[in-house]
Structure 1
Amino acid sequence: MWRKAAAAVLLALAVGFFYHSRPDVPEQVLQYLGLPDLKSFCQNQKDLEQTISAAWEALLTLPTRRWSRVAVGVNACVDVVVSGVGLLQALALDPGAGLDHDVLRSKEDLKEAFVHFMERGAAAERFFSNEEVFQSIARAAAEYPGAKLYVGGNAALISQKFASYPDLMVLLCGPVGPKLHEMLDEQIVVPPESLQETDEFHLILEYKAGEHWGSTRAPQANRFIFSHDVSNGEMSSLETFVASLDEFQPDLVVLSGLHMMEGQGRALWEDRLKEAVAALADIPKDVPVHLELASMTDRDYMNSILQEQVMPSVSSIGLNEQELLFLSQAGSGPHAGLHTWKGIPDVGRVSDILLWILEHHGRSDPSSESDLTRIHFHTLAYHVLATVDGYWTNQVAAVAAGARVASSQACGLHAVAVDKVELKAPQEFFSSHSEPRQQLTLNPAEPVSVWHRGNITFHMTPVLVCKHPLRTVGLGDAISAEGLVYSEFQFQQHF
C-alpha cells in the first residue's frame, strides 16, 4: 500500500513540475490521471505542517513545579562561524577524498575530516593539536568575508536559552573571556573565578544542503567544529563549578564539555572523569543533573563515561544520532554493528538503543545504583524522549518544545513559519527494529506518539525541518534546554 502511495506522490510531483513549466498542458490531463494539481498538492503539505505546528502550541504547558535556579558548566567559548568550503579554499586547499581523524594535526587533516563528514551531512567536533597552525587558521577565519562571532560552547549556549526565561536565574561556570562576557545575556551570573583575560575560540565550518566541493555533495546542512582549546579541554572550570553550587543552591544542574577532554590524552581524562564523578556525588540527590553529550571518537573514553564513570551519576542525558550510535558501539549495545546511519535514523533502532541504555546503565530496575532515568534524543527529522516511569512528568510538552525550537531557531526565527519548513519524519514507523514491535502512525493533530516498553515510556514527535537553515550550531543545546524547561522531576529516594 505504501509503495503505491509513494508512487502516486512522485507521479503527482513529476506531472506538477511539468505542468508548472508548461502551463499549456490541459487540466484534463491531471484529472484523467486522477491526480491533484501541483497547487493543491503543495497546499495539502502546507496544511499538514500547519496542523503539526498548531498542535505543538496547544501542548506547550509549563510544569506545575518549575525550575527557579539552574547551574550550567563547564565549556564556554566564542564561535567563529564561516563557510567551510569557502575557508578551505581560502587556505589554498584542494578538494579530495574524505578521511576521519580523531585528532587534527595539519591543514590536510582538517580538509580530509571536513570532507568525510560533509559527504555524510553529519555534525562532528575535533581537537586541533598544533597551536601555531590553528592560530593561523583562526586568523584567516576571522578575516573571511561574512564570518560571524557568536556565544559558543554547550554550557554557554544552554545558559543563553535558559536566560530567555526571565523568571529563571542562571549560573554559568566556564572559561569566560572579555568578548564572550560581553555577548552573554545580562541575566547570566558568572563567578569571578571563571573570568579570564583571553577568549577561547572555536571554528565552525558550515555547509548547506546540496552544496558541492569537488566531487563531494552535502546531503543536508550541517557543520564541522574544531579548536585548540586547552581550558575547556582540561575542564579547568570544574572545581569552580562545584564550589559555586553550595552558594548558588540550584534546583537543576547541567553539565557539558566532557567531549573536550578526549583530545587531551587518556592520562588526563581518566583523572578528570574521576574528579567529575566525585563532584557529582556531592550534589544532593533531589537535584537532577543533566549531561549534554557531544561528538566523540575514542571508544574507551565513551565506554568509561557510559559504564564506569559519569553516566550512572546523572539523571538525564541529551544526545544526537551520531552520539547515540557511537555510545552503543562503545558499549556493545543494540545495532552496534551498524557502521553509520543511512538517511533518517530508523525509529525502531533508536528506540532499541535508548531502551538498552536505560535498562543496562540506567535506573529501570529500582535496585540499580544508577540515577539515569531520562534520555532526550534529537536528530534532524524527529526527537524522542525516553523516561523511566515515575521520575519525570510533562514529557509530551517537553518533546514538543524541543522540536518547536529546532524548527524555529534553525530558520533564525522565534516562531515556526510553515512556509519555511518541511516534514521529513516517517509517518509510519515501528517501536522496535525486532519483534515484538508496535506499528505507529503519525497523527498531525496529535503529533506526539507515545509507546511503552516495560517501565520505560517513549515520546516521539517530528521536527518541521527548516528548508534553508541560517545556523545549525547550538541547536542540540537549545533543544535540550527547552526540553528541560518543560520537564518536571519527581524525586524518589533510593533504598
Structure 2
Amino acid sequence: MWNKSVCVALLALATGYVFLLDSDLPDSVLKYLSSSFLYQLQGDLTSPESSMAAAWDVLITQPAKQWNRVAVGVNACVDVVLSGVKLLQALGLDSGVGQDHSILHSTKDLKEAFIHFMGKGAAAERFFSDAKSFHHIAETASAYPGAQLYVGGNAALIGQKIATNPDLKVLLCGPIGPKLHELLDENVIVPPESMQEFDEFHLILEYRAGEEWGQLKAPNANRFIFSHDLSNGDMNMLDVFVSSLEEFQPDLVVLSGLHMMEGQTKEMRQKRLLEAVASISDIPLGVPVHLELASMTDPELMSAIIHQQVFPLVNSVGLNEQELLFLTQAASGPHASLASWNGVPDVGVVSDIVFWILKEQGRTPGKASDLTRIHFHTLAYHLLVTVDGYWANQVAAVAAGARVAGTQACATQTIDASRVFLKAPLKFATSKMEEASTVSLNPHEPVSEWHRDGVTFHYTPVLVCKDPLRTVGLGDAISAEGLLYSEIYPY
C-alpha cells in the first residue's frame, strides 16, 4: 500500500503536469484540482473502520434523562475461562464428530456439543447434569495453567459493566459467594441476603478464529459455557431481588437468569416460572424492566416466557442470533423453518422476526403489554428496534453497543482500526417477507434507520476484533452499554 509521502509526491507531480499543459490556468482552478485530488486521496487513506469509529464518536451522545439507580438480578457466578480444546485434551478426549445435546450428561456429551458449536463458530450454554463428573472437570479446569477467574453470570456481568459509570448506583442480587464478592466492583451494592457460603462456578471454553482440532476449524472466535449450577437454576434470589427494590428505589431494573431453569424438572420449572412472573409483577409501576435472554434449548420454556408470561411484563429484551432463531422456532414465528444461520444472519430475516415479536407480544393497540424495545446483537452487526413513541436516543444506544463490542473484545479503550475488521454485509434488504428497501453501508454514516408500521429499526455494523482476547460477557456488555445511552418516555 502506498504511504502518505508517495501520495503527496504524486499529487505534486499531477498538479505540476496540469500546469505545464496549460500554464495560463487560474490559481482557483489549480487549487480546486489539488484539493479535489487530496480529498480523494484522504478518502483512500482512511479505512472504513477508522471512518466508522470516528462517526460513532460523534453519534454517541448522552440521553436527556439518564439513569441514576440500576438494580440487576438474578444470576451470578464465577467464570473459569480457558481454552476449550486444551481442557478437553487434558480430560483425555480426542476430536471427533460434533452433536448438539440439550443437557450434558457426560464428558462425551460435552465433547460432542463443544465440537458442534465450535464448527459453527456459535455461542452456546448448557447444563451439566452429573454433579460428580462436573466437579472433576471444574477441578481440572481451575488447575490448568492459564485458566482465569472472572465475574460471571449475565446479571453480575451487566451490573459490573454498569458500575464502571461512577455516577450510577448499582444493586446486584444473586447467589454471591466469597470469591465472586471479591471480584465485584466496589460500586456494586450486594444485599446481605444475597451472600452465600460457596461460589457457583461456570466453565467457559473459548476458541480462536481459525483454531483447529483434528478436522475441526472454527470460523470465528467464540465460547461454549456449561455448569452444574443449582442456586441460579432455582432462581432462589428472585424474591430477595424484588424485596430489595423498595428500599433501593431503582429507576431501571435488569433481569436475567431465566435460562438457568432448564436444568430442573418440567414440573419444577413451570412452578418457578409462575413464581418468577409473580415476582416481576411486583416490581413497582413506572420502573422499566430489561430482560436479557441467554442460550436455551427447551422450546416449552421459551414459549412460556414469550406467550403471556414474561415478555408482556418487561419493557425491553436483549438477545443474540441463537436465541432469536430458537425463539421463533419455539413460537412458530416467521422463518421458523430455518434450521440454523448460514454465516452472518440475514438482516431481512432478523428484521422480520423482531418485528413479529413486537407486533405479537409488544405494546400495540389492544394488547396489555409493556414490551416496546428489542436489542439484537450478533458478531457482525446490531439492530435496536423500538415501538414508536416510547424510547429516545436509540441512534446513540446502538452505536454505543457496537463500539463496546470492538473495544472490549480487543481489550482497548478506543477502537483500534488496525485490530478490527468489517464482517457485516455491504448491502442488504430490510425484509424477506414484504416489499423492502435496500440499505448500503456508508462508513461515514454507520447507523441506518428504517420504519415499518409504527416500529423503528436502527442498524449498525460491528467492528469485529481480529484477535479477541476475551469473548465472555460481550453480549452483556453490549446490552448494558445500549441501556446506559437509552431514554424511556414515561407512560
1:428 corresponds in structure 2 to 427
Q: Deviations over 1:318-376 (max 9, x none)?
A: 0000000110001111110000000000000000000000001111x232101100000
1:6 corresponds in structure 2 to none
**Amino acid of the structure 2 residue aligned with 1:264:** Q
1:462 corresponds in structure 2 to 461
Contact 1:63 1:486 in 2 (8 A): yes
* Residue pairs, 1:59-78, within 5 angstroms: 59-78=59-78
User: What displacement does 1:413 show?
Assistant: 1.4
2:57 corresponds in structure 1 to 57
- What is the CA–CA distance in structure 2 between the aligned matches of 1:280 and 1:44, rounded to whole Å? 53
**Amino acid of the structure 1 residue aligned with 2:327:** L
- What is the CA–CA distance in structure 2 between the aligned matches of 1:213 and 1:97, rounded to whole Å? 11
**Amino acid of the structure 2 residue aligned with 1:171:** L
User: Are 2:271 and 1:241 aligned?
Assistant: no
Contact 1:78 1:152 in 2 (8 A): yes
**Amino acid of the structure 2 residue aligned with 1:168:** L
Deviates more, 1:291-300 or 1:306-315: 306-315
3-state SS of paired residue (1:308): coil
Percent same amino acid among aligned pairs? 66
- What is the CA–CA distance in structure 2 between the aligned matches of 1:92 and 1:424, rounded to whole Å? 36
- What is the CA–CA distance in structure 2 between the aligned matches of 1:59 and 1:272, rounded to whole Å? 42
- What is the CA–CA distance in structure 1 between the aligned matches of 2:265 and 2:488, rounded to whole Å? 36
Q: Which runs of 4+ in 1 moved over 3 A?
A: 43-46
Q: Deviations over 1:139-190 (max 9, x none)?
A: 1001111100000000000001100110100000001110110110000000
**Amino acid of the structure 2 residue aligned with 1:104:** L
User: What displacement does 1:433 show?
Assistant: 1.1
TM-score in terms of structure 2 length: 0.91
| Alignment root-mean-square deviation, CA | 1.5
**Amino acid of the structure 2 residue aligned with 1:166:** P
1:392 corresponds in structure 2 to 391
3-state SS of paired residue (1:63): coil
3-state SS of paired residue (1:309): coil
Contact 1:174 1:237 in 2 (8 A): yes
2:34 corresponds in structure 1 to none
- What is the CA–CA distance in structure 2 between the aligned matches of 1:139 and 1:279, rounded to whole Å? 36
1:210 corresponds in structure 2 to 210
**Amino acid of the structure 2 residue aligned with 1:49:** E
3-state SS of paired residue (1:231): helix
1:283 corresponds in structure 2 to 283
3-state SS of paired residue (1:452): strand
Contact 1:46 1:418 in 2 (8 A): no
Q: Which runs of 5+ in 2 are unaligned?
A: 3-39
- What is the CA–CA distance in structure 2 between the aligned matches of 1:217 and 1:357, rounded to whole Å? 35
2:254 corresponds in structure 1 to 254
3-state SS of paired residue (2:439): strand
User: What displacement does 1:435 show?
Assistant: 2.8
Contact 1:53 1:416 in 2 (8 A): yes
Q: Deviations over 1:262-310 (max 9, x none)?
A: 1112112111111111111122331110000000011111000010311
- What is the CA–CA distance in structure 2 between the aligned matches of 1:282 and 1:81, rounded to whole Å? 36
TM-score in terms of structure 1 length: 0.90
Larger Rg: 2
User: What displacement does 1:46 show?
Assistant: 5.6
Contact 1:422 1:466 in 2 (8 A): yes
Q: Deviations over 1:405-433 (max 9, x none)?
A: 00000001121111100011112111101
Contact 1:46 1:419 in 2 (8 A): no
- What is the CA–CA distance in structure 1 between the aligned matches of 2:316 and 2:113, rounded to whole Å? 31
Contact 1:424 1:465 in 2 (8 A): yes
* Residue pairs, 1:91-110, within 5 angstroms: 91-110=91-110
1:416 corresponds in structure 2 to 415
* Residue pairs, 1:95-494, within 5 angstroms: 95-363=95-363, 365-492=364-491
User: What displacement does 1:94 show?
Assistant: 1.0
Contact 1:411 1:420 in 2 (8 A): yes
- What is the CA–CA distance in structure 2 between the aligned matches of 1:162 and 1:333, rounded to whole Å? 33
Contact 1:76 1:154 in 2 (8 A): yes
3-state SS of paired residue (2:47): helix
3-state SS of paired residue (1:443): coil
Q: Deviations over 1:469-495 (max 9, x none)?
A: 000000000000000000001122xxx
3-state SS of paired residue (1:478): helix
- What is the CA–CA distance in structure 2 between the aligned matches of 1:94 and 1:441, rounded to whole Å? 45
1:22 corresponds in structure 2 to none
